[in-house]
Amino acid sequence: MLRATDLTKAYGEVQALNGADLSVAPGQVVSLLGRNGAGKTTMLSIIAGLLRPDAGSVELGGIDALAKPEAAAKLLGIAPQDTGIYTVLTVRQNLEFFGELSGMDRATRSARAVEVADRLGLGPLLDRKGGQLSGGETRRLHTACALVHAPRLLMLDEPTVGADVTTRLQIIEAVRDLAADGAAVVYTTHYLPEVVSLEADLVIIDNGQVLATGTQPELIEQHRISGVQFEAAGELPDSLTSGQGLEVTRQGPDRWQVLGDIDMAQLLEYFGDGTARLRSVESLQPDLETVFLAVTGNRIDDESLDEEAAATDIEEGARA
Ligand code: ATP
């Protein structure tokens, strides 16, 4: 359904995308994961025809979307990060308006508005003005507007930011339904449990490049890790930091991860008389978070650690 190839985009000095690919088949949900600034929104904006790439191609349902953006636009629904609804129109009018934009006739868009509103828990609010909705309701309407015309490609950019548990579940359910009806879905989020609920396939992007793609079980298997993570006050035992085959990484002011052939009991042995300095220990379980950290690099740069430590010092100083 979607085949975006070799997308490249610079904003002045910033190389936001550097030869990134994204393919999504009908019925497939792909979760686009990446740290802040990785290039996700830039990629979605290019695919949606909102931004021109410096290089690359976008094929949508067999259409060259860069050459024929209007034809391609009919196939897609996008809910960007910032909510955009008409505050003076009612929920129903918002939905019907977005249906009309994509060429639906009056009867179809009116029936579809009710169906989508019900699906996202907006049924009782159909005649309420957009400006009189709560934050979560606005978020639901924003998402509903993107799927009212049953797009063949749906792209949602962090659709559940600020959403409560119910809204979150309704959005996830609506996405699953649409995919079950054959739509291709691209879903970006920083909240990994949603990716698990969606059983989405993963595309992990960093610095404008795709670093990994695959199903969740595939990537968890590929990035299987063993080790421990712990919190400890003070210096680490020398024997641990120089331990054969162990990779010790600082993850916060007092937070550490040790990758390698080590379990919790062995960690205690390394600390010996100093075990009282250990505040918590757990063994590493391979999951999406460990995959993400393994792919994007699990080392937090020293600058951000220093900032975190400084913030802690300030808080402690303020309490003293
Ligand atoms: P986030 O998770 O924070 O939403 P993202 O993965 O969506 O991040 P993008 O918004 O695509 O990231 O940004 C990619 C890079 O391009 C970042 O370094 C960002 O600062 C930069 N960037 C984005 N838009 C612009 C712009 N209009 N002008 C200059 N730089 C930009």
- Name all domains of the chain by residue range, CATH numbers in brackets: 2-213 (3.40.50.300), 226-285 (3.30.70)
Average pLDDT across the chain, whole number: 89
Measured from the CB, is residue 36 less than 6 Å from ligand 1? yes
> Quick one: average pLDDT of 238-262?
90
Residue 40 dihedral angles phi and psi, to the nearest 5°: -65, -50
Whole-number pLDDT of residue 83: 76
Instruction: Tell me if the pTM is above 0.95.
Output: no
Which of ligand 1's atoms lies nearest the C-alpha of 35?
A: 2
Ligand 1 contacts CB of residue 124 (under 6 A) = no
How far does residue 168's CA lie from ligand 1's centre (Å)?
25
User: pLDDT digits over 110-125, tens only?
Assistant: 999 999 999 899 999 9
Q: Check whether 311 has a pLDDT greater than 50.
A: no
Looking at residue 320, its pLDDT comes to: 41
Report pLDDT for 238: 92
For residue 18, the CA-to-ligand 1 centroid distance in Å is: 13
Q: With pLDDT > 70 as the criterion, what percentage of the chain qualifies?
A: 93
Instruction: State the Cα–Cα distance between residues 272 and 39, nearest whole angstrom.
Output: 46
Query: Would the CB of 167 count as within 6 Å of ligand 1?
Result: no
Distance CA 30, CA 211 (A): 15
> How far is Cα of residue 190 from the mean position of the Cα atoms in its chain?
4
* Distance (Å) from CA 211 to ligand 1 centroid: 18
Could you tell me if the CB of 42 is within 6 A of ligand 1?
A: yes
Which of 17, 41, 160 most suits a substitution to test ligand 1, by most atoms within 8 Å of the C-beta?
A: 41
Any atom of ligand 1 within 6 Å of the Cβ of 16: yes
Residue among 7, 8, 33, 42 to mutate when testing ligand 1 (max atoms within 8 A of CB): 42
Ligand 1 within 6 A of CB of 80: no
Mutation pick for ligand 1 pocket among 8, 14, 206, 211 (CB with most ligand atoms within 8 Å): 14
Q: How far apart are CA 155 and CA 46, in angstroms?
A: 12
Determine the pLDDT at residue 298.
54
What band does 162 get if pLDDT is binned at 50, 70 and 90? confident
Average pLDDT, integer, range 221-237: 91
Ligand 1 atom showing the smallest separation from residue 190 Cα: 2
pLDDT in tens, 182-222: 999 999 999 999 999 999 999 999 999 999 999 999 999 99
pLDDT, residue 299, reads 45
287 Cα: distance to centroid of ligand 1 (angstroms): 27
pLDDT tens per residue across span 11-67: 999 999 999 999 999 999 999 999 999 999 999 999 999 999 999 999 999 999 999
Measured in angstroms, how far is the CA atom of residue 10 from the centroid of ligand 1?
10
The minimum-distance atom of ligand 1 relative to the CA of 41 is 7
Whether the per-residue pLDDT at 151 is higher than 80: the answer is yes
Query: Atom 30 of ligand 1 has which residue's CA nearest to it?
Result: 11
Task: Determine phi and psi for 193, rounding to 5 degrees.
Answer: -55, -30
**Range of 1-5, 246-250, 302-306 with top mean pLDDT:** 1-5
- The predicted structure's pLDDT at residue 32: 96
| DSSP secondary structure of the chain | -EEEEEEEEEETTEEEEEEEEEEE-TT-EEEEE--TTSSHHHHHHHHTTSS--SEEEEEETTEETTT-HHHHHTTEEEE-SS----TTSBHHHHHHHHHHHTT--HHHHHHHHHHHHHHTT-GGGTTSBGGGS-HHHHHHHHHHHHHTT--SEEEEESTTTT--HHHHHHHHHHHHHHHHTT-EEEEE-S-HHHHHHHT-EEEEEETTEEEEEE-HHHHHHHT---EEEEEESSPPPHHHHT-TT-EEEEEETTEEEEESS--HHHHHHHHGGGGGGEEEEEE---SHHHHHHHHH-SPPPHHHHHHHHHHHHHHHHHH-
pLDDT surpasses 90 at 266: yes
Could you tell me if 60 and 47 are in contact, meaning their C-beta atoms sit under 8 angstroms apart? yes
Return the biggest CA–CA distance within the chain. Answer: 76
Phi-psi region of 116 (alpha: psi -120 to 50; beta: other; left: phi over 0): alpha
Per-residue pLDDT of 66-106, as tens digits, reads: 999 988 988 999 888 777 889 999 999 999 998 888 788 99
pLDDT at 85: 86
The pLDDT assigned to 233 comes to 92
